[in-house]
């Protein structure tokens, strides 16, 4: 009989699915982890984040609020200060969900509570600023307005008569066809009005869908956010040891936010970012020079010598780029090309360059003198011989040296 998976194992599998953008599977695994081990406090915020990424904001808020209720009842001493860290994450997730639902006042109150747990988190401050901007523009609760608009659109749908059967039985098939076409057009117009109302509501709460990729070197992890024409003044990047917070004002007027719980620690003071014309490039210094299997995780230190790829990673989890490109394979191909054996004139030139670079002064003088005096037909390293006089021209067999006037 197969051994049941532990809560920790299910949580790790959920993280792997989250990284590969399989959010539905990640949500199921986080739920199973909590059922297996209710003490897996990390699962509450992780599940809420996966629901946010899949744009299920009502469920995300419910999951985050459930975590908040439980974590508030746990003292920091009972779980090595984890509750306060996880409580802050749950409060942030709840606030983000409320923001996307248009409940701006509620979102700001939640962010304010999270701010009390970490006064240095600039990402939370940015969210509070966005809440103030939305409240000034749309009011404290735009969700009620959105619902009212959709209800109004539905109620404004024209009534369509269906009493064709009770009309004169001698009505022609042509009349019946015209009635059906009229009904179809009316229903289509009503559906269009409803869609337009929903779109108007969405315009009030823009949710930019922008992808980010990542790759790594021996010492750094680089995250690339594909946003064009960003104004550096409108970009804020906050580095923390185990998390990354990015916020930016887009050219279209909406806001972009990226909150990542990093897989392993980084060094904030040695991390930086650059705003380029086609992207935002974020460069984070690794806490330890080991290879990361995932970008996101629980921020724990990597295993000595580097973590080994998990079974699921070996089966096709996208890493290190979310695009799925295997950069390890590309790197090996480039290295193989560089190590290919050179042939012909290129190989000969490289050999002479190496000899010249490692040679003594006398050897270099001999090479320069013999090559220049012989018109490129002689290259000698023997200064005792070459230094005695001028080097004669020695063309290859079957060829004649001709000096052009």
Which pLDDT score, from 0 to 100, does residue 271 have? 93
Tokens of 111: 């962010």
| pLDDT tier at 210, thresholds 50, 70, 90 | confident
Q: Answer with the residue of higher pLDDT: 145 or 366.
A: 366
Tell me the pTM. 0.49
Q: Answer with the residue of higher pLDDT: 268 or 155.
A: 268
Q: What is the DSSP letter of 33?
A: H
Q: Which residue has the tokens 């054996």?
A: 341
How far, in Å, CA of 78 to CA of 73, rounded? Answer: 10
- In what helix (H) or strand (E) does residue 7 lie, and over which residues does it extend? helix 7-19
How far, in Å, CA of 307 to CA of 329, rounded? Answer: 19
The mean predicted confidence, pLDDT, of the chain is 75
How far, in Å, CA of 19 to CA of 263, rounded? Answer: 10
Q: Which residue has the tokens 């509501």?
A: 201
Paired with 222 in beta bridges are 215, 283
Question: Across the chain, which distance is largest between two alpha carbons, in Å?
Answer: 126
**Residues 8-66: pLDDT tens digits?**
889 988 888 888 888 899 999 999 999 988 888 889 999 999 999 888 999 999 999 99
Q: From the CB of residue 353, how many other CB atoms can be counted at a distance below 10 Å? A: 10
**Residues 32-48: pLDDT tens digits?**
999 988 888 889 999 99
Bridge pairing between strands 243-249 and 235-239: antiparallel
Which pLDDT score, from 0 to 100, does residue 360 have? 85
Q: From the CB of residue 244, how many other CB atoms can be counted at a distance below 10 Å? A: 24
Which pLDDT score, from 0 to 100, does residue 94 have? 93
DSSP-assigned letters across all residues of 150-205 = HHHHHHTSPP---GGGGS-TT--HHHHHHHHHHHHHHHHHHHHHHHHHHHHHHHHS
| pLDDT tier at 386, thresholds 50, 70, 90 | confident
Cis amide linkage into residue 15, ω under 30° from 0: no
Instruction: From 370, 372, 376, 375, select the one nearest 391 (Cα to Cα).
Output: 370
How far, in Å, CA of 113 to CA of 6, rounded? Answer: 33
Query: Does residue 183 surpass a pLDDT of 70?
Result: no
Phi, psi of 78 (to 5 degrees): -75, -20
How far, in Å, CA of 43 to CA of 71, rounded? Answer: 12
- Least confident range from 85-94, 102-111, 251-260: namely 251-260
Bridge pairing between strands 255-261 and 243-249: antiparallel
């Amino acid at each position: 009989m197969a051994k049941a998976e532990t809560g920790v194992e299910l949580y790790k599998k959920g993280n792997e699915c989250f990284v590969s953008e399989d959010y539905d599977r990640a949500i199921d695994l986080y739920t199973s982890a909590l059922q297996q081990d209710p003490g897996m406090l990390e699962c509450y915020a992780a599940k809420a984040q996966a629901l946010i990424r899949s744009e299920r904001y009502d469920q995300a808020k419910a999951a985050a609020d459930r975590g908040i209720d439980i974590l508030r009842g746990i003292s920091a001493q009972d779980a090595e200060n984890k509750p306060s860290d996880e409580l802050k994450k749950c409060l942030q997730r709840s606030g983000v969900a409320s923001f996307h639902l248009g409940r701006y006042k509620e979102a700001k109150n939640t962010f304010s509570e999270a701010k009390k747990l970490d006064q240095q988190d600039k990402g939370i401050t940015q969210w509070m600023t966005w809440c103030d901007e939305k409240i000034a523009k749309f009011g404290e609760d735009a969700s009620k307005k959105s619902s009212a608009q959709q209800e109004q659109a539905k109620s404004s749908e024209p009534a369509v008569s269906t009493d064709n059967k009770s009309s004169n039985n001698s009505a022609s098939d042509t009349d019946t066809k015209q009635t059906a076409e009229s009904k179809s057009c009316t229903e289509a117009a009503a559906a269009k009005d409803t869609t337009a109302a929903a779109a108007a509501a969405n315009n009030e709460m823009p949710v930019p869908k922008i992808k980010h990729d990542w790759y790594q070197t021996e010492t750094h992890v680089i995250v690339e956010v594909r946003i064009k024409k960003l104004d550096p003044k409108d970009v804020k990047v906050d580095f923390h040891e185990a998390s990354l917070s990015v916020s930016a004002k887009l050219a279209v007027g909406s806001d972009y936010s990226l909150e990542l719980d990093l897989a392993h620690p980084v060094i904030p003071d040695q991390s930086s970012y650059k705003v380029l014309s086609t992207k935002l490039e974020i460069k984070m210094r690794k806490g330890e020079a080991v290879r990361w299997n995932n970008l996101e995780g629980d921020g724990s230190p990597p295993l000595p010598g580097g973590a080994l790829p998990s079974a699921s990673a070996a089966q096709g989890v996208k890493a290190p780029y979310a695009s799925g490109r295997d950069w390890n394979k590309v790197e090996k191909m480039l290295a193989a090309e560089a190590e290919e054996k050179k042939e012909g004139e290129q190989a000969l030139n490289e050999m002479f360059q190496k000899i010249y670079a490692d040679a003594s002064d006398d050897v270099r003088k001999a090479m320069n003198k013999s090559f220049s005096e012989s018109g490129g037909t002689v290259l000698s390293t023997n200064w005792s011989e070459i230094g005695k006089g001028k080097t004669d021209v020695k063309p290859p067999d079957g060829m004649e040296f001709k000096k052009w006037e």
